[in-house]
């Protein structure tokens, strides 16, 4: 009989999911998604292979669960960081810093692009979570335009351009390099959207 982690079944399930998500993140960071197997993930998580299948039908459903979990946590943290910040320029700076603090969850891992490895349905589901984050950026930019702090612009066209500046780069591990990159990106994006 498998060992129960936690004091209740619900706690056990949550802890197993947390272990699986952490294992998936570590393995994706090290080798990429394409080479992973459910057995690799189970071994890295320290749970039985059958336990993985009790939670997720396959590697793609585990990836979706992981992205949903990470996006939810990111949005909570982002909203907390933005709480009480009213200046449009500073709100945009906070958004940029939060985005650039992300690890491989949203930034490239070794190997082929995730979109080329998963089904169209999975790509669509992953895209839904990006939209939630984009809505917050759209709100920040729209508020800046309405407050007269940013010039009139096509916000729908600007949002993906800003995101292109914030993603698609390897996570910088050296704190000095990271700080320089964040500062340069903040200034570039603020100039690009026409901040004073």
* Mean pLDDT within 148-163: 95
Burial letters 68-101, b for 16+ CB under 10 A, else e:
bbbbeebbeebeeebeeeeebbebbbbbbbbbbe
Number of neighbours of residue 188 by Cβ within 10 angstroms: 13
Domains and CATH numbers, the chain: 1-56 (1.10.10.60), 59-192 (1.10.357.10)
Per-residue pLDDT at 1: 39
Predicted TM-score (pTM) of the model is 0.77
Specify whether the CB–CB gap between 108 and 170 falls below 8 A.
yes
Q: If you average pLDDT over every residue of the chain, what do you get? A: 85
Return the residue matching tokens 């692009």: 113
Return the residue matching tokens 């066209």: 157
Per-residue pLDDT at 82: 96
Terminal CA-to-CA distance of the chain, rounded, Å? 64
pLDDT band at residue 30 under the 50/70/90 scheme = confident
Return the residue matching tokens 């749970």: 47
Number of neighbours of residue 59 by Cβ within 10 angstroms: 20
Contacts of 136 (CB under 8 A, 6+ apart): 75, 78, 79, 82, 95
Does the pLDDT of residue 17 top 90, yes or no?
yes
Return the residue matching tokens 């591990």: 173
Per-residue pLDDT at 106: 47
CA distances from 6 to 22, 66, 196 (A): 17, 21, 53
Task: Give the tens place of pLDDT for each residue, 34-89.
Answer: 888 999 999 999 999 888 999 999 998 998 899 889 888 899 999 999 999 999 99
Specify whether the CB–CB gap between 195 and 149 falls below 8 A.
yes
CA 127 to chain centre: 11
> DSSP letter string over 56-90?
-SSHHHHHHHHHHHHHHHHHHHHHHHHTT---HHH
Task: Give the tens place of pLDDT for each residue, 77-136.
Answer: 999 999 999 999 999 999 999 998 875 444 445 455 666 677 788 778 777 877 888 999
């Amino acid at each position: 009989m498998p060992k129960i982690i936690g004091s209740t079944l619900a706690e056990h399930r949550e802890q197993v999911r947390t272990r699986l998500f952490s294992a998936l993140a570590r393995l994706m960071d090290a080798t990429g998604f394409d080479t992973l197997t459910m057995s690799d993930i189970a071994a890295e998580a320290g749970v039985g292979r059958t336990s993985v299948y009790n939670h997720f039908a396959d590697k793609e459903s585990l990836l979706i669960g992981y992205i949903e979990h990470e996006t939810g946590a990111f949005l909570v943290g982002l909203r907390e960081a933005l709480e009480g910040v009213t200046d449009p320029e500073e709100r945009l700076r906070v958004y940029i810093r939060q985005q650039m603090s992300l690890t491989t969850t949203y930034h490239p891992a070794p190997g082929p692009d995730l979109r080329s490895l998963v089904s169209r349905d999975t790509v669509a589901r992953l895209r839904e979570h990006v939209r939630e984050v984009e809505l917050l950026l759209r709100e920040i930019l729209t508020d800046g335009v309405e407050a007269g702090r940013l010039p009139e612009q096509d916000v729908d066209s600007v949002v993906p351009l800003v995101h292109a500046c914030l993603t698609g780069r390897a996570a910088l591990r050296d704190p000095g390099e990271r700080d320089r990159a964040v500062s340069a990106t903040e200034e570039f994006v603020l100039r690009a959207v026409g901040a004073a």
